[in-house]
Amino acid sequence: MAFRVSELAAEVNGVSYAYPDGFMALQEVNLKVAKGERLAILGPNGAGKSTLLMILNGLYAPSSGEVSVLGVPVNDENMSAVRRDVGLVFQDPDDQLFSPTLWEDVCFGPLNMGLPEEDVRERSSEALDAVGLTGYEQKAPHHLSAGEKKRAAIATVLTMHPKILLLDEPTVNLDPRNRLELANLLRSLHNRREMTLITASHDVNFLPEVADRAYILNKGHVTSEGSLREVFSSSRLMSEANLEPPTITRLFSILAEKKNARTESLPLTVEEALSALERRLSSQDQT
Amino acid sequence: MLSSFVNAIQETVYAERYSTTIGLLQQIDPRVKLFSVAALVLSAVAVRTIAPLVVLLGAIVILCIASGVPLAFFTLRTTVFIPIFAGLIALPLLFMTPGVALASLKLDGIALVVTSQGLCRAAQFTLRVWVCVALSVLLILTTRFSKLIGAMDYLRFPRVFVMMTSITYRFIFLFLNEGYRMLLARESRITKELRWRENVGSLARIVATLFIRAHERGERVYLAMAARGYAGTLRRLDKMRCVKRDWAFASISALICAAMLSVEYLHLGGF
């Protein structure tokens, strides 16, 4: 995929990262993300997904290679701008919610940005409203449910008005209803705020809801890249990454195989499957 | 049993049942409350006679009622700590203080004599501990923890101490629950009764793992703070302002402290 530099939200060039014990978490990773894009970083456990997100936020400095976000190199000089523009939602919300009340947690980021108090209050109320947690200001994080904690963690980042939102395994520990609510929330953030979404996950059933394009990361290497449909439809790519396609895609793929039918595009979501079935039924009715 | 113990402790520490209701102490500025309680505790420690302590206990009961905290609950909550903090120390005072003998008992041929002076000292010590515990419990019950932390910050407690207290409160039960889950996982794989040495060994491994997990959690929490621009300085939003009521409460507390110390050091009363 070709991008103009001005269109890029993030660019990673030849990045490697070694942990202090010498373990190479990332090796020569190259990646480009367009502004406003919804990107998935797909890979099994231990692929290096979280490390890559930490590098994009400037929390880890790469051992070699270059990273830039919105045209600005990620280095000590630009760190405050990077932290402001790139919001990172950690895998475990308990890591992110460390204050005695939710209000203090959502105010933490904008206060560190040195914003006037009125702005901090306005942004915090707005962020809580965006995630549907208005009225929870004085709640202690340990009194929130898993779904509320996840939404609260997103709110703590939204107060900084990031242009890029990084999500690390966002569906871990969420029940089906909370997963659905999270998908709706992320879609609405992307649409209303034109935010670039980068989701690192191995939850193949969730990713079609929040991503259009994917990079496959395995053992620290980017093994392939393409639209989510291309990636999920390729059994070779999926097995290389130790992953399975979404359940609905698998079902349609097996059905197509059994019927020897030609499939132009396999559905990734239930909605897509439903319209495919409806089309099929109506064409049968006509014949 | 362990589960109910964890839940009971959790309920005791996290319940903010009374701090969110409307009562006298709940409406007082947390800084004033913290300062007043500290002054009253110091005064209670400084006095050596019973009368001022009894007066202070009376004041605590009045504050408790005015703040809507049920007396029975409050008494139970404060009494739980007394045997732990005071009982062990006060008990020997009964027998070891020389004075007029009140009663005697023999244990394995050793004669223990309870003296009136001993009884007086033990009662004085227990009452002092009780008053101090009651003041602290009343402060905690009527103040939201976040406000208490804010007050400590405003009163210029060391930043590291304030931050550590806040994070400890937030994460202590996360680890208690984690430890509990590890114990359950251990229990589920035990098929015979373990010897004492084996038991201690496996418990030590659980504690060691918990330490490692706490360290890792600390790292991740720090990264989450750094990701939102934390650079070593904690900034606060909520401004606290003292109103007339707060000044009145501070003045009454100061008067009680002064009265207690006068009774003690100007010999105006007591026994």
Give domain limits for chain B.
Answer: 2-265
- Is pLDDT at B105 greater than 80 in this prediction? no
User: What amino acid occupies position A208?
Assistant: P
CB of B131 closer than 8 Å to CB of B25? no
Q: How far apart are CA B60 and CA B44, in angstroms?
A: 12
Q: What is the DSSP letter of B91?
A: H
Residue A235 lies in a domain: no
Residues with Cβ within 8 Å of residue A83, at least 6 apart in sequence: A57, A58, A160, B226, B227, B228, B229
Q: Are residues A207 and A263 in the same domain?
A: no
- Can you read off the two tokens belonging to residue A67? 């990273």
The residue ranking higher by pLDDT, B51 or A217, is A217
pLDDT of residue B77: 84
Q: Are residues A280 and A179 in the same domain?
A: no
Q: Mean per-residue pLDDT for B216-227?
A: 93
- Is pLDDT at B269 greater than 60 in this prediction? no
Residues with Cβ within 8 Å of residue A39, at least 6 apart in sequence: A33, A196, A197, A198, A199, A211, A212, A213, A214, A215
pLDDT of residue B135: 93
User: What amino acid occupies position A251?
Assistant: L
pLDDT of residue B233: 78
Domain count, chain A: 2
- Is pLDDT at B115 greater than 70 in this prediction? yes
Q: Are residues A282 and A188 in the same domain?
A: no
Residue A174 lies in a domain: yes
Containing structural domain, residue A250 = 246-287
Min Cα separation B92/chain A (Å): 42
Q: Do A140 and B145 touch (CB under 8 A)?
A: yes
Taking CA–CA distances from B145, the nearest residue in chain A reads A100
Q: How far apart are CA A58 and CA A56, in angstroms?
A: 5
- Is pLDDT at A223 greater than 70 in this prediction? yes
Phi-psi region of A140 (alpha: psi -120 to 50; beta: other; left: phi over 0): beta
- Is pLDDT at A36 greater than 50 in this prediction? yes
Closest partner residue to B223 (CB to CB) among A59, A84, A141 is A59
Q: What percent of chain A has pLDDT over 90?
A: 66
Residues of B in contact with A144 (CB under 8 A): none
Taking CA–CA distances from B237, the nearest residue in chain A reads A117
pLDDT of residue B270: 46
Q: Mean per-residue pLDDT for A3-27?
A: 87
Q: What number of C-beta contacts closer than 8 Å exist between A and B?
A: 86
Q: Strand order of the sheet with strand A86-89?
A: A86-89, A164-168, A196-201, A38-42, A213-218, A221-227
Q: Are residues A134 and A205 in the same domain?
A: yes
Segment B16-74, tens digit of pLDDT: 778 888 889 999 999 999 999 999 999 999 988 888 888 899 999 999 999 999 999 88
- Is pLDDT at B271 greater than 50 in this prediction? no
- Can you read off the two tokens belonging to residue A217? 């990361």
Taking CA–CA distances from A100, the nearest residue in chain B reads B146
Taking CA–CA distances from A55, the nearest residue in chain B reads B227
Residues of A in contact with B227 (CB under 8 A): 57, 59, 83, 87-88, 90
Min Cα separation A24/chain B (Å): 19
Q: Strand order of the sheet with strand A64-69?
A: A24-34, A8-18, A64-69, A72-73
Q: Per-residue confidence at A83, pLDDT binned at 50, 70, 90? A: very high
CB of A87 closer than 8 Å to CB of B229? no
pLDDT of residue B5: 67
Min Cα separation A171/chain B (Å): 18
pTM of this prediction exceeds 0.90: no
Interface residue A232 vs chain B (CB under 8 A): no
Q: Are residues A203 and A263 in the same domain?
A: no
Q: Are residues A210 and A264 in the same domain?
A: no
Q: Which element (helix H / strand E) includes B252?
A: helix B244-265
Residues facing A29 on adjacent strands:
A15
Q: How far apart are CA A191 and CA A265, in angstroms?
A: 25
- Can you read off the two tokens belonging to residue A187? 């879609």
Interface residue A92 vs chain B (CB under 8 A): yes
Q: Are residues A9 and A58 in the same domain?
A: yes
Q: Are residues A167 and A260 in the same domain?
A: no
Q: Mean per-residue pLDDT for A12-17?
A: 96
Closest to B55 measured CA to CA, from B261, B256, B267:
B256
- Is pLDDT at A180 greater than 70 in this prediction? yes
Min Cα separation B233/chain A (Å): 8
- Is pLDDT at A261 greater than 90 in this prediction? no
- Is pLDDT at B239 greater than 50 in this prediction? yes
ipTM for this model: 0.86
Q: How far apart are CA B207 and CA A239, in angstroms?
A: 40
Q: How far apart are CA B15 and CA B143, in angstroms?
A: 11
CB of B234 closer than 8 Å to CB of B164? no
- Is pLDDT at B2 greater than 80 in this prediction? no
Q: Are residues A126 and A256 in the same domain?
A: no
pLDDT of residue B123: 86
The mean pLDDT of chain A is 90
Q: How far apart are CA A233 and CA A238, in angstroms?
A: 8
